[in-house]
């Protein structure tokens, strides 16, 4: 629980007898998340892309791989953006040559978003070095160990999504402005 200190910003609970020692595995997950975000920010900067732009491309790629249509509404919901922010994001991706807007084949009222070959090339250039380092790191583990880690990471993703959904239920609707 955060509380306002007399000298300024909120303080957060630390490890100690009241809370117990920090869980080393959760600490490592936090560190991984921070390092992954740093990588995405640095790699995106080299391609003049903001993290939100790269997250949008990841959402489009994930849905497309499942055979699902990706609309501006899907992007808005997944990235928790307002409608104007979503439009600005799609305009940036369109202007940079990473996404095209197409009318749906059977419902012409619906606009769908598709990644361009440039988006796939840039994505490969951005994430290939990370994938190579991760592949090297994973090579030190057995198939059984990787299966255990896969189950663990799946559970952590699901737990994080559940916490986000609970948090979404507690806030006013309308999305993040930007």
Instruction: Tell which wins on pLDDT, 87 or 9.
Output: 87
Task: Kindly state the tokens that stand for 91.
Answer: 């305009």
Query: In this structure, are strands 3-5 and 111-115 parallel, antiparallel, or unpaired?
Result: unpaired
Neighbour-count burial of 33, counting CB atoms closer than 10 A to its CB (0-12 exposed, 13-18 middle, 19+ buried): exposed
Q: At CB < 8 A and 24+ separation, what contacts does 20-29 make?
A: 29/156
pLDDT for 20 equals 64
At 19 the three-state DSSP class reads coil
Token readout for 159 is 């737990």
Residue 67's alpha-carbon distances to 34, 62, 64, in angstroms, are 31, 9, 5
Q: Which domains does the chain have, with CATH numbers?
A: 53-127 (1.10.10.10)
Q: Are 5 and 11 in contact (CB under 8 A)?
A: yes
Average pLDDT estimate for 159-175: 79
pTM: 0.71
**Residues 42-76: tens digit of each pLDDT:** 998 888 889 999 999 999 999 988 999 899 999 99
pLDDT band, very low/low/confident/very high, at 2 (cuts 50, 70, 90): very low
What's the confidence (pLDDT) of residue 108? 77
């Amino acid at each position: 629980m955060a509380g306002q200190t007399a000298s300024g910003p909120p303080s957060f609970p630390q490890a100690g007898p009241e809370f117990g020692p920090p869980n080393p595995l959760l600490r490592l997950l936090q560190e991984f998340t921070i390092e992954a975000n740093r990588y995405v920010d640095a790699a995106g900067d080299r391609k003049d892309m903001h993290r939100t732009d790269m997250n949008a491309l990841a959402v489009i790629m994930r849905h497309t791989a499942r055979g699902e249509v990706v609309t501006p509404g899907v992007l808005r919901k997944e990235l928790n953006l307002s409608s104007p922010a979503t439009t600005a994001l799609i305009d940036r991706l369109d202007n940079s040559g990473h996404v095209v807007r197409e009318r749906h084949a059977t419902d012409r009222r619906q606009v769908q978003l598709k990644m361009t070959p440039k988006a796939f090339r840039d994505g490969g250039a951005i994430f290939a070095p990370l994938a190579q380092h991760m592949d090297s790191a994973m090579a030190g583990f057995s198939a059984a160990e990787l299966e255990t880690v896969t189950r663990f990471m799946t559970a952590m993703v699901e737990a994080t999504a559940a916490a986000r959904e609970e948090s979404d239920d507690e806030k006013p609707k309308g999305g993040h402005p930007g």
